Amino acid sequence: MSLVEPASQTGQESQGSRASQRLKAELQQKLQYRAEQNLLRQVLQRCGPCQPDSLFGDGQKRVNFCSNDYLGLASHPDVIRAMQVAAEQYGVGSGASHLVTGHCRVHDELAEALADFCGRQKAMLFSTGYMANVGVINALTNPGAPIFQDALNHASLLDGGWLSRGDSRRFAHRDTKDLEAMLIRHHCDSRALIITDGVFSMDGDLAPLPEQVALADKYQATLIVDDAHGIGCLGDTGAGTLSHFGLSASDVPVLVGTLGKSLGTAGAFVAGDEVLIDYLTQFARTHIYTTAMPPPLAAATIAALACLRSETWRQQRLQSLVMRFQQDVANLGLNILPSQTPVQAIVLGEADRAVKASEYLREQGVQVSAIRPPTVPADSARLRVTFSAAHTDEHYERLLDALASLPDDLRG
């Protein structure tokens, strides 16, 4: 027999129902506001592999200029085969966290290959780039210590700072004078962190790393660089933004990279000296308290890294497309931001204009994302074009023709 009277049950259900309805109303209100501002995000379904000619959920094929598969390795036969073979050997999932029984020999092989590629003593793996940034920042932040971040850093870096025990502040984009003023103003006995993207994901521009290295040395701060969009695209060997600037491991002691962009798979890594990686293995909670990367994914990434290093034409092709696009779009009179990376931003201003321009391009058979606030600052909504080494000249001309035909009211 129940010890709770039916009337009490009804009362509890009623209270629970009211709380649920209140939550639902609040969420609906926020969704409605985003919809009215033309800022509501939509899931775009793709059917089939990540390739320039992509079939989408509406049944239409379009040339995809939204992917981060910069070197075209996501569908490389060697990468696919490596994953298939590893799935037969290891199974599909790791089954546990890295520090329990989820860590396999293939994880070590990938970490060793990444460390060698980046010129570091050691590397460690994370399941996502977001988890890598949050985990590293929290592990390296002393309570109350100052954290200085570029204002346009990726959300995962900013969230990592806000979730830490530090005093997180943002300096003006790429402004080393503002950064130094903050370093002076907020100096304390605790070690500071300077955190930046190597390549900024929405503008495609580079951080002024040599100047930031000098400031980190001058004020005894630790510089953390997330080179998600630089690795594979910049530097003589594709080693990224640090290689592009000729910087060493001692200049930038903490390097974060992702595997889901130039390497075409998924996951992330952090590379540094032996002490750093041993420390993060003990204290990076987003590495410790989660299931390890699937072994077949690690095997596929090893194969992708081998392709990156041997098929140098991919990086050369990418750079050729970027240089050509910068000139051609400027000749069309569109407001393209300077960028030497595969991230190319055409700023249109209003969110509504960017959305309509994206829809127009889709009708022309070209898939280009409209990026709006809060991802980018107000009045800087844009078309974000990303190139892949797999794009052919025919793909390129189709994009350029579509941009050239944009109606005047959609050109910004």
What is residue 13's predicted lDDT score, i.e. its pLDDT?
Answer: 61
Mean pLDDT of the region 160-186: 97
Instruction: Output the pLDDT for position 1.
Output: 43
The response to whether 229 counts as a known ligand-binding position is yes
| Residue 362 marked in a binding site | no
Assign 39 a pLDDT band (cuts: 50, 70, 90). confident
Q: For the residues 25-31, what does the mean pLDDT come to? A: 95
The pLDDT of 13-23, averaged and rounded, is 81
Q: What is the mean pLDDT of the chain?
A: 94
154 annotated as belonging to a binding site for a ligand? yes
Q: Is the pLDDT of residue 377 over 50?
A: yes
Query: Has residue 333 got a pLDDT over 60?
Result: yes
For 112, 150, 208, the CA distances from 172, given in Å and listed in that order, are: 36, 6, 12
CATH of 77-310, one of 1.10.1300.10, 1.10.443.10, 3.20.20.20, 3.40.640.10: 3.40.640.10
Residue that the structure tokens 């410790």 belong to: 288
Question: Which band of pLDDT confidence, cut at 50, 70 and 90, is reported for residue 187?
Answer: confident
Say yes or no to pLDDT of 323 above 80.
yes
Count of C-beta atoms within a 10 Å radius of residue 3? 5
pLDDT at 224: 99
Residue-range domain boundaries for the chain? 40-69+312-410, 77-310
Per-residue confidence band for 10, with pLDDT thresholds at 50, 70 and 90: low
* pLDDT > 90? residue 65: yes
* 130 is annotated as contributing to ligand binding: yes
Q: What confidence category does residue 2 fall into, taking pLDDT thresholds of 50, 70 and 90?
A: very low
- The pLDDT of residue 176: 98
| pLDDT tens track for 87-102 | 999 999 999 999 999 9
The pLDDT value recorded for residue 15 is 66
Quick one: average pLDDT of 120-144? Answer: 97
pLDDT in tens, 232-281: 999 999 999 999 999 999 999 999 999 999 999 999 999 999 999 999 99
Residue 58: the pLDDT is: 84
Residues in the chain: 412
Lowest-confidence pick of 71-85, 153-167, 185-199, 277-291: 185-199
What is the pLDDT, as a whole number, of residue 11? Answer: 60
pTM value? 0.92
The model's confidence at residue 54, banded by pLDDT at 50, 70 and 90, is confident
CATH code of 40-69+312-410, in short, is 3.90.1150.10
pLDDT at 331 (0 to 100): 97
Position 7 pLDDT exceeds 60: no
pLDDT at 92: 97
Report whether 396 belongs to an annotated binding site: no
Three-class SS string for the chain? CCCCCHHHHHHHHHHHHHHHHHHHHHHHHHHHHHHHCCCCCCCCCEECCCCCEEEECCCCEEEECCCCCCCCCCCCHHHHHHHHHHHHHHCCCCCCECCCCCCCHHHHHHHHHHHHHHCCCEEEEECCHHHHHHHHHHHHCCCCCEEEEECCCCHHHHHHHHHCCCEEEEECCCCHHHHHHHHHHCCCCCCCEEEEECECCCCCCECCHHHHHHHHHHCCCEEEEECCCCCCCCCCCCCCHHHHHCCCCCCCCEEEEECCCCCCCCCEEEEECHHHHHHHHHHCHHHHCCECCCHHHHHHHHHHHHHHHHCCHHHHHHHHHHHHHHHHHHHCCCCECCCCCCEEEEEEECHHHHHHHHHHHHHCCEECEEECCCCCCCCCEEEEEECCCCCCHHHHHHHHHHHHCCCHHHCC
Residue 258 labeled ligand binder: yes
Mean pLDDT, range 113-120, rounded to an integer:
98
Q: What angle do CA 194, 200, 203 make, to 5 degrees?
A: 140
pLDDT tens digits, one per residue of 196-231:
999 999 999 999 999 999 999 999 999 999 999 999
6 pLDDT more than 60: no
More confident residue, 269 or 49: 269
The pLDDT of 40-59, averaged and rounded, is 84
Residue 51: pLDDT band with limits 50, 70, 90: confident
